[in-house]
Structure 1
Amino acid sequence: MIVFTYDNTFDGLLSCVFFAYEQRKFPDLILSEFDQKPLFIDEQYYVDTEKEKSKRVWKGLEKKISKFAQNMLLSVWLSELPETAMLLFRYIRKNIDHPQGIEMNFGDDDVLRIKDIAQKVGADARKLIQFIRFQETADGIWFAPVSPRYNVLSLIVPHFRSRYAGQPWIIYDTNRNCGLYYDTRTVAEVTFPQEEFSRLKSGIVDEDRLSDDEAFFQQLWKAYFKSITIKERINLKLQRQQMPRRYWKYLTEMQ
């Protein structure tokens, strides 16, 4: 068994592809530095992340696969599933080795799995856009906690930069303790210290940190949601299909 170890970054994975072709050593397993190693290993290599080499691999892929397939590949990376590294390695290798690439070969198990995961990641991002609820803080920043299944914040940023271009906001992933802050010009990654994060994970911002109007508008929204409900037509099964329960935690109207 040949095992590659890398730094668990996308550039690191592309560096693994470069290393494999350079050394003519193709891994049976690709692991991060923190993954448990199998008991029996014939050869093990730690692959350093080198941006220039990863760029060369990506440029080579751009010549072999469409923009749509490139986006699928990136979406699969954002899934963070345990199988991701080896799945993407096999997919990239098959496209490099095949004269015309294999992105449309749906008889290939890896192509089907890439498509399946990419669709699920895309669906998670679209649901997140629908169900985000912002809270205005005392310092004028609009804050929204979220808990997506996949690491999709980067996929939803273009929508919110366009939709809320004139106001600063933070969308915070409570599953991964990281978020994105938009200051009306640029987007930057932010994290909160552990003592702050434990409170934020509940999704409830302390009242003294909310703007003067926020609590009032939350009550208005809840009242509106209640007033449009027709009790005789309540269909909880359909509601859960359209608004999956795992998104309810941070919905103002469901508190």
Structure 2
Amino acid sequence: MTIFLYDQTFEGLLTAVFDAYSRKSFPDSIFKTGEPLPLFYDEVYTVVTDYEKAERVWKLLVRKLSKGALTTLTYSWLSEAPDIAMLLFRYIRKITDAPRSIETNFADPDILAVTKLGKKVADERYRILQFMRFQKTSEGIYYGAMEPLYDVFPLTINHFRDRFADQKWLIYDVKRKYGYYYDGENVDEITFSNPLQTHLLTGKLDDSLLDKDEKLFQTLWKSYFKSICIKERLNPVKHKKDMPVRYWKYLTEKN
């Protein structure tokens, strides 16, 4: 059994594809560097991420796949599925070796699995755009936190930057302990030296950190939400389907 080790980056995975073809030796399993290995194997090859190699593989995929399939490929990577590296390696290899497009050959289990994962990530991105609730801080920064199933925050940046172009904002992934800050011009990835602060765990800012009018706006929003609810038409099952319970702790109207 041949094992590839990589740095758990997408560029590292693309480099692994390039190296496998160069070596004419393809992995049976892919592990991240430092991860415990199985007891029995024949060879371990350490992939050194090379952006030029990764770029060459990506350009090949651009030629072989439609824009939609490329999006599905990158979205599925953000699913963080336990076997995603090996799944995408097999997917890319099949796409590379096929004489014609096979991106819609859903009889192939790898093509189907990547497509399903891509759709799940796309759905999660849409839910984050729907349910993100911002709180205005005393410094005039709009803070929003959530705990998405998949690592979809990178897919939301363009939306928030366009939607709130004239406002400073910070979105924070509670699960992965990182976020993005927009200063009115640029978006930067950020982490905090003390990720155990209460608002970084719960997504709720302490009253002392809020803008003086924020509590009023939250109260008005809750009142509006209650006023538009028609008790006779309440459908709890549909409500939970449209607005999954796992998001409720981050929604102003639910607290």
What does residue 74 of structure 2 align with?
74
SS in 2 for 1:201: helix
SS in 2 for 1:154: helix
Deviations 1:122-176 (A, max 9, x none): 0000011000000000111000001100000111111111111110111100000
Greater CA drift, 180-189 or 10-19: 180-189
Does residue 97 (structure 1) correspond to residue 91 (structure 2)? The answer is no
Which structure 2 residues correspond to residues 8-157 of structure 1 after superposition, within 5 A?
8-157=8-157
Which amino acid in 2 is paired with 1:134? Answer: F
Q: Is the 8 A contact 2:4 2:45 kept in 1?
A: yes
SS in 2 for 1:179: strand
Q: Is the 8 A contact 1:145 1:201 kept in 2?
A: no
Which structure 2 residues correspond to residues 200-211 of structure 1 after superposition, within 5 A?
200-211=200-211
Identity %: 49
SS in 2 for 1:79: coil
1:35 Cα offset (Å): 2.6
Which amino acid in 2 is paired with 1:241? Answer: K
1:51 Cα offset (Å): 0.6
Q: Which runs of 5+ in 2 are unaligned?
A: none
User: C-alpha distance in 2, partners of 1:210/1:200?
Assistant: 15
Deviations 1:14-58 (A, max 9, x none): 010011001111000001124321111111111100111111111
1:195 Cα offset (Å): 5.1
Which amino acid in 2 is paired with 1:235? Answer: N
User: C-alpha distance in 1, partners of 2:147/2:173?
Assistant: 5
Q: Which runs of 5+ in 1 are unaligned?
A: none
TM-score (normalizing by structure 1): 0.97
Kindly report the root-mean-square deviation, in angstroms, between the aligned alpha carbons of the 2 structures: 1.1
Q: Is the 8 A contact 1:178 1:189 kept in 2?
A: yes
What does residue 251 of structure 1 align with?
251
What does residue 230 of structure 1 align with?
230
Equivalenced residue count is 255
Runs of 4+ in 1 over 6 A off after TM superposition: none
